Structure 1
Amino acid sequence: MEDESQSGEASPAVRKRVLESFGRQGLMSHLGARISRIAPGVVHIVLPGRPEVTQQNGYFHAGATSAIADSAGGYAAYTLFPEDADVLTVEYKINLLAPAVGDHLEAVGTVLKPGRTLTVCGLEVFGRRDEGTPKLVANGQQTLIRVPRER
């Protein structure tokens, strides 16, 4: 659940920085993922369903599910970092709770504990149909490190 400090939208400068960084991610582009929400400490990433992101039974592949969760958490942390910083994942763990089905997946990364060096995020991935209740298909936790941005 988001607290009050994480309920508004990100500033235009933070939004621009996040979108520019996300645009440089080859894997997210390859998967067809896009950011749908940027708020302080919270980022949502949507992955549309298509055959290229499924496994042999037609469900979204665990690798695609995990990848969007990892990026959602990373960018959630990034929203709280200063402009001269970048983000790297140190570790993450994901539990696949149900087959990932739906028209699209939505990953939600939420900062649980910000820090000067390490930040911890909660990760949730929902299977969504255009109409209907979202179903939690994966959840996890992630640790990220703030590093100086390379020029």
Structure 2
Amino acid sequence: MKEHVQELLDECLSGATDEDLLILKQLLEGVKRKKDNENGSIIGGIFAMEREVKDGNFEISIPITPVTHNSLQIVHGGVTATLVDSAMGTLANMVLPEGYGAVTTNLNVHYLAPGIGDRLTAQATVVHQGSKTIVVDGKVISSDGKIVAHSTGSFFIFQKKR
């Protein structure tokens, strides 16, 4: 396996542009962050997610890089959705008692502006917490303060297996 990965890496490096090298660097740094437990998932590692509890809400921020771009050189809508779902889902799990988890059952994203600038930050706030579901409100904001997307999500609460 290691030999195959090395061959693939060598092939990707051969004739790589500066942008290709930047992308490879971010992907490899993401794997390292996951391996070093700096991020809990490979998605968090690759997108270099930084998490913060701020003013009683939860935020996740990512840099805007070629890894996040679509063919129009703006942040791909799926990346925006992943960012806001990660923020809302993490918050939903944070408010639960030990031994319980929550998973997304519905995600509604309204795209309002292009994802441009240096960073995107997703903010999440609990709207309702019941015994079976949690409803969370989310916003994605660009580094210039524009709201890129508004989202709501429903999360099903379950007891984790022991």
TM-score bucket (shorter structure) = 0.7 to 0.9
Q: Which contiguous aligned blocks of 4+ residues in structure 1 show a shift greater than 3 angstroms?
A: none
> What does the per-residue CA deviation read over 1:43-83, in whole Å, with 9 as the maximum and x for residues that have no partner?
10001111111111211111111101001111111221001
Higher relative contact order, structure no. (Cα contacts within 8 Å, ≥ 6 residues apart): 1
In the aligned structure 1, how far is the partner of 2:114 from the partner of 2:75? 8
- The aligned counterpart of 2:49 is 33
Match of 2:111 among 77, 96, 100: 96
1:47 aligned to 42, 55, 62, which one?
A: 62
Per-residue deviation, residues 9-62 of structure 1 (Å, max 9, x unmatched) = xxxxxxxxxxxx99332212222212132665x210001111111111211111
Query: How far apart, in 1, do the equivalents of 2:129 and 2:40 lie?
Result: 24
Gaps of 5+ in 2: 1-36
8 Å CA contact retained: 1:39, 1:79: no
| Residue 64 in structure 1 maps to residue 79 in structure 2 | yes
Separation of aligned partners in 2, 1:135 and 1:106: 10
Q: CA separation in 2, counterparts of 1:70 and 1:51? A: 21
- Larger Rg belongs to: 2
Q: Contact 1:69–1:125 at 8 Å: present in 2 too?
A: yes
User: Unaligned stretches of 5+ in structure 1?
Assistant: 1-20
- Of the candidates 138, 146, 149, which is equivalent to residue 138 of structure 1? 149
- Kept in 1: contact 2:124–2:138 (CA 8 A): yes
- 3-state DSSP of counterpart to 2:95: coil
- TM-score (norm: length of structure 1): 0.76
Check if 1:150 corresponds to 2:130: no
Give the conservation status (yes or no) of the 8 Å contact 2:39–2:49: no
Q: What is the identity percentage for the equivalent residue pairs of Structure 1 and Structure 2?
A: 24
Q: 2:135 aligns with which of 117, 120, 123?
A: 120
**Structure 1 residues 27 and 105, CA gap change in structure 2 (3 angstroms):** same
Provide the rounded CA distance (Å) in 2 between the counterparts of 1:43 and 1:77.
10
TM-score when scaled to structure 2?
0.72
Higher helix share: 2
SS of residue paired to 2:67: helix
In 1, the alpha carbon distance for the partners of 2:59 and 2:132 equals 23
Whether the aligned pair in 2 keeps the contact of 1:54 and 1:60 (CA below 8 Å) is yes
Q: Tell me the equivalent position of 2:88.
A: 73
